[in-house]
Chains A and B, each alone.
Chain A
Amino acid sequence: QKEVEQNSGPLSVPEGAIASLNCTYSDRGSQSFFWYRQYSGKSPELIMFIYSNGDKEDGRFTAQLNKASQYVSLLIRDSQPSDSATYLCAVGPSGGGADGLTFGKGTHLIIQP
């Protein structure tokens, strides 16, 4: 049974600061990792994906992957009130392919103006 663990929060961060969201996963064979942002009542929106160890940057977002530690993180720089949402960490199937994603329970992020 694959598991993806996230701290449910809420995580409260002042506006302009760096928000750091963390995720661990149980399946050592997992190859693909995703961060989705979900506003209340809306569907998940893909904001980052990462396949290789190290950092991947896209604008204010940086995803970090450490396969040895089975750890994925998302950093949001210069946090804005509009970043307040639930962030879902998701892990792809072992070996890749169209097998669906396994999601963590999500971290509720609050950016304080």
Chain B
Amino acid sequence: DTEVTQTPKHLVMGMTNKKSLKCEQHMGHRAMYWYKQKAKKPPELMFVYSYEKLSINESVPSRFSPECPNSSLLNLHLHALQPEDSALYLCASSHPVLIDTQYFGPGTRLTVL
């Protein structure tokens, strides 16, 4: 089983709103990731959590705030976003042995008005 779940599937928010994206996996994976994907572009890495600690932040603006409450759950808190932040936000987790091997969730389609 390689299931990563993400909620919500779609999110529309204004520039002054605060919202959160949620990602969950119950496969015992110890590394989890957030990627951002714009239309017709490849996924771009945003954050990496390894053993519940933030290990990589790819110079992401502070209006995106990640959180890893436990080994199964990853959140991305959003505040004061811009229309150019509209994208597909993908969560992934890594196989515990083949740790490079990442499995993606279905994504959250975010639209910022």
Contacts and interface: CB of A to CB of B under 8 A. Distances in A.
Interface in A82-113: 88, 92-93, 96-101, 103-106
Contacts, number: 64
A101 B46 CA distance: 11
Interface string A30-49: 01101010000011111001
Given A98-B48, A98-B94, A46 B56 contact: no
Interface size bracket, A side: 20 to 34
Interface string B27-46: 00011010100000111010
Given A43-B90, A98-B48, A98-B94, A103 B101 contact: no
Interface of A: 31-32, 34, 36, 42-46, 49, 88, 92-93, 96-101, 103-106
A46 B42 contact: no
Nearest to B44: A103
A101 B104 contact: no
B42 A105 contact: yes
Interface of B: 2, 30-31, 33, 35, 41-43, 45, 48, 50, 55-56, 58, 88, 90, 94, 98-107
Given A43-B106, A98-B55, A49 B42 contact: no
B42 A43 contact: no
Contacts of A93: 100
B42 A106 contact: yes
Q: For the complex of A and B, list the 6 residue pairs with the smallest distance between their C-beta atoms, beginning with the closest.
A: A98-B31, A103-B42, A92-B100, A100-B45, A32-B100, A43-B107
A31 B94 CA distance: 16
Contacts of B104: 36, 43-46
Contact of B56 (A34, A45, A100): A100
